[in-house]
């Protein structure tokens, strides 16, 4: 069968596509059909508001996702690092990300994971931090973002988005979220 | 199956130059523009490496911030340099292997022009922050459509040439180039168009299928096509075994596409899908080792040629990097290893070994081999070519090894939650400084390479052949 592809371009092409499509279809089209949790929103998950979407677009535009992941993995250390005041964070589940488009899971953690950062720091903290991260976190290598802080609409939208992260699960016992 | 020996005529040797006169205008345009982007995007690469050491650098200019330069570096290197160079080499290789002229030189030149429009459009879009937010698929929709158009133009030309070929049996490189064109079409459509219809984990799954196969089913097969052509050519040795090349090709066509989910090991994606991705990632060792063994066995008794054959130096060190990077890949996908190296600086070390250490080495080798032949002259300087090899490989090794050590160390630190995150950032500062200087060394090698080729082209004299 494979030897025929040596002399016939049609055979080579047909066979190469068949081989490719077996795995291609089984790993892209089938999984969401089998695993319904990929598309069903978590009970506490709300669609983004207009201002939060605007903030999310800034997060995408500035490439924040190249250095910050948004996933608390099934590793003990992840649940501790995403935790808050001694309480471990729940692991991230597919139903928390149903409204995320584009998804912001990320592949690289030059900075800390942000999957549970919502409600941890207040607006004033973010203002100072975006202006110059090293003023609050000495040793940080995050770039400064003065053009965002200097634009009140952009800044408040971005903070509004950040405060939503990880809030689909209400896991902090005394509900000490920033209001 | 027929015995391999029957296939020796074209199965083990790329065809010799026939009586056909090839104008090669398309190949020349693609190669020259790709070398320009290699140099220009190299400057951006050094800039973002410097930002890790000096985070305030260019910090108040939105267009030059890290988050905008990084996608420009990745897209510029992948599509402006490497894919363009690979396409240029394919425009040279395919007509030779078919014994006929390129189907349409005019269509080819138009493709080269369109490709440059796409790359320049990408520079403007990415600096302006017009980023779609998906890795490797950052370019906005209009540019995606142009890429599809250019790819169809490329495909028509290559398949047109293959359809009119004079030699019935197709040499390995032709299978790989045909595979590249077809698989890329579907992989690219999935990553840039199907993702637009989905969100959340479903979108991430399509995104990783694309990201993984951008390397696995675009750069790998076209890179191997180039290696399969230039290793026998530049060493003047026939390929070791035809059947091994078949195992390598058909295993690759089946196994690669299953592995996308290994980018989300331990992440919020179904465990069974992670397990499938891990199993198929391990199976990648089959096509890789078949190909690598074929190349090494081809060089048996011929290793002495590496002493002064610069294209062969690039090719065979590229093969070694291919072996290493494709050993790392399956190992990373194991849950235990992933828990340490995933998301760390190890990963850029691994990615650079694949794209720079392996596939860019193959492309550079092809260009060094072809430049004198395309322009009917001699290489400007053999000594400079040798220096460019040593600068790129030493800088590259410095880059890879430092990031592996740093990334592994970083992963161990992350797994101890008693260490505050910022301390794991501070710990990496010396690693990033070494990476920056290694990057400068790679860049100097690129400058030597680019200058050497440009001087060959611009200052060429007609030598008596």
Task: Read off the pLDDT of residues B26-57 as tens digits, 9 standing for 90 and up.
Answer: 999 999 999 999 999 999 999 999 999 999 99
Which of A20, A60, A112 faces B133 most closely, judged by CB atoms? A60
B128 close to B65: Cβ distance less than 8 angstroms: no
- Angle, to 10 degrees, between the axis of helix B429-458 and the axis of helix B361-374? 10
Claim to verify: residue A57 and residue A132 sit in the same structural domain: yes
The DSSP 8-state label assigned to residue B103 in this structure reads: S
* A26 lies in the same domain as A82: no
Domain count, chain A: 2
Nearest CA in chain B to A27: B258
Per the domain annotation, does A172 fall within a domain?
no
Share of chain B above pLDDT 70, in %: 97
- pLDDT at position B54: 96
With contact defined as beta carbons under 8 Å apart, do A58 and A154 qualify? Answer: yes
pLDDT tens profile B145-162: 999 999 999 999 999 999
Residues A63 and A128 in one domain: yes
Residue A41 domain-assigned (yes or no) = no
Shortest distance between the Cα of A155 and any Cα of chain B, in A, equals: 15
Mean of the pLDDT values across residues A98-122? 95
Structure ipTM over 0.90, yes or no: yes
pLDDT band at A179; cut points 50, 70, 90: low
Check residue B208 and give its pLDDT. Answer: 95
Tell me the HSE value of B237 on the side-chain side, using a 13 A CA sphere.
18
Distance from CA of B25 to the nearest CA of A (A): 26
Comparing CB atoms, the residue among B253, B263, B417 nearest residue A80 is B417
Evaluate whether residue A168 is within a structural domain. Answer: no
Residue with tokens 């409204």: A99
Query: Nearest 5 degrees, angle CA A105-CA A110-CA A114?
Result: 45
Residue A50 is predicted with a pLDDT of: 97
Judged by CB atoms closer than 8 Å, whether chains meet at A35 and B348 is answered as no
Q: Are residues A95 and A29 in the same domain?
A: no
The total of other beta-carbon atoms located within 10 Å of residue B79's CB is: 23
Q: A30 and A65 share a domain? A: no
C-alpha distance from B120 to closest chain A C-alpha (Å): 19
Q: What integer pLDDT is reported at residue B7 of this predicted model? A: 37
Residue A178: pLDDT band (50, 70, 90) is low
For residue B437, the tally of other CB atoms under 10 A from its CB is 15
Tell whether A178 is covered by a domain. Answer: no
Domains by residue range for chain B, with CATH: 24-458 (1.20.210.10)
Q: Answer whether residue A175 is part of any domain.
A: no
Tell me, what CATH number does A65's domain have? 1.10.760.10
Q: Which member of B130, B206, B267 has the closest CB to residue A71?
A: B267
Shared domain check, A152 and A79: yes
Look at residue A115 in the predicted model and tell me its pLDDT. Answer: 96
CB B268 within 8 A of CB B314: no
A116 and A143 part of one domain: yes
User: Are A101 and B199 a contacting pair at CB < 8 A?
Assistant: yes
Domain that holds residue A16: 3-34
Burial class of residue B354 in the structure, from the number of CB atoms within 10 Å of its CB (0-12 exposed, 13-18 middle, 19+ buried): buried
Instruction: Tell me if A11 is assigned to some domain.
Output: yes
Residue A136 lies in a domain: yes
CA distance A147 to chain B (A): 7
> Do A112 and A145 fall into the same domain?
yes
What's the confidence (pLDDT) of residue B462?
A: 60
Contact at CB, B207 and A24, closer than 8 angstroms: no
Residue B38: strand, helix, or coil: helix
pLDDT digits (tens, 9 = 90+) for A76-88: 999 999 999 889 9
Confidence (pLDDT) at B1: 31
- Find, in chain B, the residue whose alpha carbon is nearest to that of A98: B200
Greatest C-alpha distance within chain B: 72
What is the spatial distance between Cα B174 and Cα B229, in angstroms, rounded to a whole number?
Answer: 9
Q: Does some domain include residue A12?
A: yes
Euclidean distance between CA atoms A49 and B227, whole angstroms:
52
Contact criterion met (CB below 8 Å) for B74 and B122? no
Is residue A99 located within the same domain as residue A20? no
pLDDT of residue B9: 45
Q: Which residues pair with A84 in a beta bridge?
A: A87
Contact A31 B178 (CB under 8 A): no
The upper half-sphere exposure of residue A18, i.e. CA atoms within 13 Å in the direction of its Cβ, equals 10
Measured distance CA(B333)–CA(A171) in Å, rounded:
31
Q: Which residues of chain B have pLDDT under 50?
A: 1-9, 464-465
Indicate whether A105 and A142 sit together in one domain: yes
For residues A24 and A59, state if they share a domain. Answer: no
Q: How would residue A75 be classed by pLDDT, with cut points 50, 70 and 90?
A: very high
Same domain, A147 and A68: yes
């Amino acid at each position: 069968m494979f030897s025929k592809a040596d002399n016939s371009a049609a055979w080579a092409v047909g066979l190469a596509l068949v081989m490719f499509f077996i795995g291609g279809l089984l790993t892209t089209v089938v999984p969401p059909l089998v695993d319904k949790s990929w598309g069903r929103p978590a009970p506490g998950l709300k669609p983004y508001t207009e201002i939060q979407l605007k903030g999310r677009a800034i997060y995408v535009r500035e490439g924040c996702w190249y250095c910050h992941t948004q996933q608390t993995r099934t590793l003990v250390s992840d649940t501790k690092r995403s935790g808050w005041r001694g309480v471990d964070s729940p692991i991230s589940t597919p139903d928390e990300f149903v409204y995320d488009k584009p998804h912001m899971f990320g592949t690289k953690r030059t900075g800390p994971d942000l999957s549970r950062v919502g409600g941890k720091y207040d607006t004033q903290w973010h203002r100072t931090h975006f202006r110059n991260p090293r003023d609050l976190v000495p040793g940080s290598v995050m770039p400064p973002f003065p053009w965002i802080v200097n634009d009140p609409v952009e800044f408040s939208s971005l903070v509004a988005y950040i405060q939503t992260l990880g809030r689909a699960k209400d896991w902090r016992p005394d509900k000490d979220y920033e209001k | 199956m027929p015995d391999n020996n029957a296939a020796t005529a074209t199965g083990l040797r790329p065809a010799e130059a026939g009586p056909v006169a090839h104008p090669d205008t398309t190949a020349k345009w693609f190669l020259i523009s790709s070398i320009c982007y290699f140099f220009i995007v190299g400057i951006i690469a050094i800039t973002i490496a410097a930002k890790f050491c000096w985070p305030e650098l260019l910090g108040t200019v939105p267009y030059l911030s890290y988050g905008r330069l990084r996608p420009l570096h990745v897209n510029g290197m992948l599509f402006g340099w490497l894919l363009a160079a690979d396409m240029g080499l394919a425009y040279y290789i395919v007509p030779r292997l078919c014994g006929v002229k390129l189907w349409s030189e005019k269509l080819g030149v138009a493709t080269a022009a369109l490709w440059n429009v796409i790359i320049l459009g990408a520079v403007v879009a990415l600096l302006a922050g017009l980023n779609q937010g998906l890795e490797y698929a950052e370019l906005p929709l209009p540019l995606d459509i142009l890429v599809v158009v250019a790819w169809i133009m490329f495909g028509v030309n290559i398949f047109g040439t293959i359809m009119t070929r004079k030699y019935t049996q197709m040499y390995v490189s032709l299978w790989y180039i045909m595979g590249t064109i077809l698989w890329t079409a579907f992989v690219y459509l999935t990553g840039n168009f199907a993702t637009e219809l989905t969100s959340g984990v479903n979108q991430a799954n399509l995104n990783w299928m694309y990201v993984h196969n951008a390397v696995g089913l675009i750069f790998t097969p076209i890179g191997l096509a180039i290696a399969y052509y230039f290793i026998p050519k530049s060493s003047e040795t026939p390929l070791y075994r035809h059947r091994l090349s078949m195992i390598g090709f058909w295993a690759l066509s089946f196994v690669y596409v299953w592995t996308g989910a290994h980018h989300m090991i331990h992440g919020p994606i179904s465990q069974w899908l992670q397990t499938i991705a891990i199993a198929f990632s391990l199976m990648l060792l089959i096509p890789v080792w078949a190909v690598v063994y074929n190349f090494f066995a081809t060089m048996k008794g011929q290793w002495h040629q590496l002493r002064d054959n610069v294209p062969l130096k690039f090719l065979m060190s590229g093969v070694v990097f291919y072996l290493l990077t494709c050993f790392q890949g399956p190992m990373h996908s194991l849950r235990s290893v992933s828990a340490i190296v995933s998301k760390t600086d190890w990963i850029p070390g691994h990615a650079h070994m694949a794209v720079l250490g392996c596939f860019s080495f193959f492309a550079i080798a092809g260009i060094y081999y072809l430049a004198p032949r395309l322009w009917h002259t001699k290489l400007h300087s053999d000594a400079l070519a040798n220096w460019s090899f040593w600068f790129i490989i030493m800088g590259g090794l410095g880059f890879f090894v430092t990031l592996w050590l740093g990334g592994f160390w970083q992963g161990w630190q992350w797994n101890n939650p008693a260490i505050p995150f910022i301390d794991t950032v501070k710990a990496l500062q010396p690693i990033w400084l070494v990476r920056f200087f290694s990057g400068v060394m790679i860049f100097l090698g690129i400058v030597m390479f680019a200058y050497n080729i440009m001087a060959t082209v611009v200052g060429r004299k007609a030598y008596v052949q």
